[in-house]
Structure 1
Amino acid sequence: MRATKKILPALAALLATALPLQAAELIMLERPGCVWCAKFNEEIAPAYAKTEQGRRAPLRRVDITKEWPEDLQGIASERITPSFVLIEDGKEVGRIRGYPGGEFFWYLLDELIAKLDPPEGA
């Protein structure tokens, strides 16, 4: 049991350094009871991870009614939900305030993603 307690933290540290860091993320700022968040969840969320945009900037959800995540301290919160903040290497690239509907969301997101650094190998 003692050996396991020593090995597990070392193994976790090794894995953390071995995995590639995600350079870009789309942070969805949401709150419980948000009607437009539910609309986004119905129209966009099920397919998002399967799209080119979703692979380039995976969706991460942040509940604005809870404590702000430590790794997002440099990113301003929002009162409008949903809001979408595109970050790259921990810095804000841009944001979409509110959910403008499916077609317009993809258009605005594509404009933001065009501002990202080109992917490795591109």
Structure 2
Amino acid sequence: MFRCIVNATTRAGVVRLALLLCLASFLTAQPRAAELLMLEQPGCVWCQRFDEEIAPGYAKTPERKAATLRRVDITEDWPEDLADIRKGRLTPTFVLVDNGEEIDRLRGYPGDNFFYSLLGEMLAKLPDDKRASDREAER
């Protein structure tokens, strides 16, 4: 009888482990969302202006659903996951990245009157399946 209980417990553990591995595989297989890298550096007055005019509301925009904002300080070590992305020296520079590949780049901050229209042009260059899923998320 003890042997049956141990076998049942072991089988349940193996099944549980297999389910966890399947779930982990599913979650990691999902395509990553596009990112809008903001290359910045300390003392950048245009970065500060972006922080005042755009940054507070960006998280609530449809553009944020298409590309999360990720800040990268160019004076620090370059992140390993961005090894294929050119660093640049002008700040701010906005780089649209999808699955580790650069899609487009905007050098400088054009002000709040033009930022979203230029960003819209960048986002239009994302693969069709990304843009379609972003439109579905807006509904």
TM interval, shorter chain, is: 0.7 to 0.9
Residue 18 of structure 1 and its aligned partner are, at CA, apart by 2.8
Partner of 1:106: 116
Which protein has the larger Cα radius of gyration, Structure 1 or Structure 2? 2
- Of Structure 1 and Structure 2, the greater helix share is in 2
Q: Which runs of at least 4 in structure 1 moved beyond 4 Å after TM superposition?
A: 14-17
**Normalized against structure 2, the TM-score is what?**
0.72
SS in structure 2 of the partner of residue 102 of structure 1: coil
Partner of 1:40: 50
Question: How large is the Cα RMSD of the aligned pairs?
Answer: 2.0
Provide closer, same or farther for how the CA distance between residues 16 and 78 of structure 1 changes in structure 2, counting only shifts above 3 A. Answer: farther
1:91 aligned to 76, 83, 101, which one? 101
**Do residues 55 (structure 1) and 71 (structure 2) align?**
no
Structure 2 distance, partners of 1:69, 1:24, is 16
Gaps of at least 5 residues in structure 2 are 1-19
Partner of 2:27: 18
**Normalized against structure 1, the TM-score is what?**
0.81
Query: Residue type matched to 1:99 in 2?
Result: Y
Structure 2 distance, partners of 1:89, 1:119, is 16
Query: Residue type matched to 1:18 in 2?
Result: L
Structure 1 distance, partners of 2:83, 2:126, is 21
Structure 2 distance, partners of 1:16, 1:33, is 43
How many residues matched? 110
- State the identity %: 55
Structure 1 distance, partners of 2:73, 2:40, is 5
Structure 1 distance, partners of 2:92, 2:65, is 20
Gaps of at least 5 residues in structure 1 are 1-10
